[in-house]
Amino acid sequence: MSGDLKRDDGAKPLVVAHRGGSLLAPENTMLAFERACRLGVDAVECDLQITADGEVVVFHDDTLERLTGLEGTVADYSWNELSAQAIVRTATGEAPIPKFQELCRFLSEAKTGLFAEIKEGSALLPCLKILGETSLHGRVLVGCFERDIVGRATGSKICQSLQLVRSQEDFSLGRWEEEKGRGVFAIGLPRKDATCELVRAIRKSGLEVWLWTLNTREFLREAIAMGVDALISDRPDWAMEERLLVMSQDQ
């Protein structure tokens, strides 16, 4: 990938605000994304689902109950119904559920990168259409746990793709070369499965390693020492500080 989301060998890892930084502001809301951009993160991560009338919205959970108190799923509501009834409420505040278009417009102006995770397969094509109409080219990764969706994202030529992996057991080491051959740009690896050996093996195959979710300073330091390409964290402020500390020690 060209642009802001390509990490050169030996360069500092990228800082990616998970759900916009959900321990600092209500997750997957414009309040979170705006705060993350003020921190100077390299990219924000968001989750995409689709409403009953085909609008792509930024929301993580399978159901609405935990974050909004409503019953059902995003797909049970039209955009007008969802925007009128649903407010994301967390310990960090409250804010409306945003449309994906709103986030893309904001990031285009902020010059910040985007990692968009597809939570529902039917959101992929409208997501790609929206991305094709933005100025985010070279600053977008579209990811999913489902290999078919990742392949379709890569084949679109609109964005690069990230294959999310639930555990190291999902993939034999020989599989990384296969993923590179499919045009995948990066592997999203859970922190619990990350080792220096695995990170080296994946990177040796030509793929980047984006590690999630790094929510303590200890985990962030370990990830930086492993040489991962991106630090995905609900505390992007800590990630920025730990990265700066390591960089100052290396000088």
Q: How many domains does the chain have?
A: 1
Residue 3 domain-assigned (yes or no): no
> What CATH number has the domain bearing residue 195?
3.20.20.190
Distance CA 104, CA 100 (A): 6
Distance CA 35, CA 20 (A): 8
Least confident of 7-11, 20-24, 114-118, 195-199: 7-11
Residue 9 domain-assigned (yes or no): no
Residue 1 domain-assigned (yes or no): no
pTM of this structure: 0.95
Element containing residue 195 per DSSP (H, E): none
pLDDT digits (tens, 9 = 90+) for 63-100: 999 999 999 999 999 999 999 999 999 999 999 999 99
Whole domain around residue 222: which residue ranges? Answer: 14-250
For residue 173, pLDDT beyond 90: no
Looking at residue 3, what is its pLDDT?
Answer: 44
Residue 167 banded pLDDT, cuts 50, 70, 90? confident
Residue 149 domain-assigned (yes or no): yes
Residue 79 domain-assigned (yes or no): yes
Nearest by Cα to 162 from 135, 189, 137, 136: 189
For residue 1, pLDDT beyond 60: no
User: Cβ–Cβ contacts within 10 Å for residue 107, how many?
Assistant: 22
For residue 217, pLDDT beyond 80: yes
User: For the chain, where are the E strands, in sequence order?
Assistant: 14-17, 43-50, 56-58, 87-90, 93-96, 113-118, 140-144, 160-164, 186-190, 208-212, 230-233
Distance CA 1, CA 7 (A): 9
